[in-house]
């Protein structure tokens, strides 16, 4: 019956992974190749992520994008403009440069609030996972599949797991907020 704890851990791991991915996409006034993850172009009849078609490098606050196939340069530039990433791509004959300006104090505060909101939403997901697993424990107890002592033991483990994941979320949130507020 350790499946209760495993199920909770799987659900909570997914929530943490989702939060990590969302935090990677948040702009902090620095060049980050991850901004290309959601940009797609039509490449030989299929939607292809731009990051698979280019080499990227970060030079200060600039992201330099060099397509493997130069004939895709204009199409990649159009896709970047269409995606509205908050910066204007500038191209020459072989690469695209995106200059990321530093965030103003007001923008940093706004992004910091977004970071906190994502953390709270993830905590809600963690609590929902805990609720679902505890509900399964109670159903098993009613069906006489486990006894009261085991049910309490599992509930305690689930609560400890929930607390540890909430602490991890708080740590991730604080780290990301510090990164955003850094000038």
What pLDDT, in 10s, does the model give residues 28-73? 777 778 778 888 888 888 888 888 888 998 888 888 989 998 888 8
HEC string of the chain equals: CCHHHHHHHHHHHHHHHHHHHHHHHCCCCCCCHHHHHHCEEEECCEEEEHHHCEEEEEECCEEEEEECCHHHHHHHHHHHHHHCCCCCEEECCCCEEEECCCCCHHHHHHHHHHHHHHHHHHHHHHHHHHHHHHHHHHHHHHCCCCCHHHHHHHHHHHHHHHHHHHHHHHHHHHHHHHHHHCC
Residue 1 has pLDDT above 60, yes or no: no
Residue 76 has pLDDT above 80, yes or no: yes
- 162-183 mean pLDDT: 91
Query: How is residue 75 written in tokens?
Result: 């199409």
Class of domain 3-25+104-181: mainly alpha
Greater model confidence, 169 or 22:
169
Residue 149 has pLDDT above 60, yes or no: yes
Domain range summary for the chain, segments of one domain joined by +: 3-25+104-181, 33-99
What pLDDT, in 10s, does the model give residues 109-128? 998 999 999 999 999 999 99
Class of domain 33-99: alpha beta
In this prediction, residue 177 carries a pLDDT of 92
């Amino acid at each position: 019956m350790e499946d209760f704890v495993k199920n909770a851990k799987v659900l909570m791991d997914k929530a943490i992974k989702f939060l990590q991915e969302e935090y990677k996409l948040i702009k902090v006034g620095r060049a980050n190749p991850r901004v290309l993850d959601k940009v797609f172009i039509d490449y030989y009849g299929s939607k292809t992520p731009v990051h698979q078609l280019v080499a990227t490098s970060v030079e200060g606050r600039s992201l330099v994008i060099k397509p493997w196939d130069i004939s895709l340069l204009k199409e990649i530039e159009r896709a970047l403009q269409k995606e509205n990433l908050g910066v204007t791509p500038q191209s020459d004959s072989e690469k695209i440069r995106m200059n990321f300006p530093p965030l103003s104090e007001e923008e940093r505060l706004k992004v910091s609030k977004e970071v906190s909101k994502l953390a709270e939403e993830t905590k809600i997901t963690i609590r929902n996972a805990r609720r679902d697993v505890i509900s399964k424990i109670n159903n098993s107890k009613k069906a006489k599949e486990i006894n009261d002592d085991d049910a309490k033991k599992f509930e305690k483990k689930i609560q400890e797991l929930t607390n540890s994941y909430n602490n991890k979320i708080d740590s991730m949130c604080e780290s990301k907020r510090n990164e955003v507020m850094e000038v």
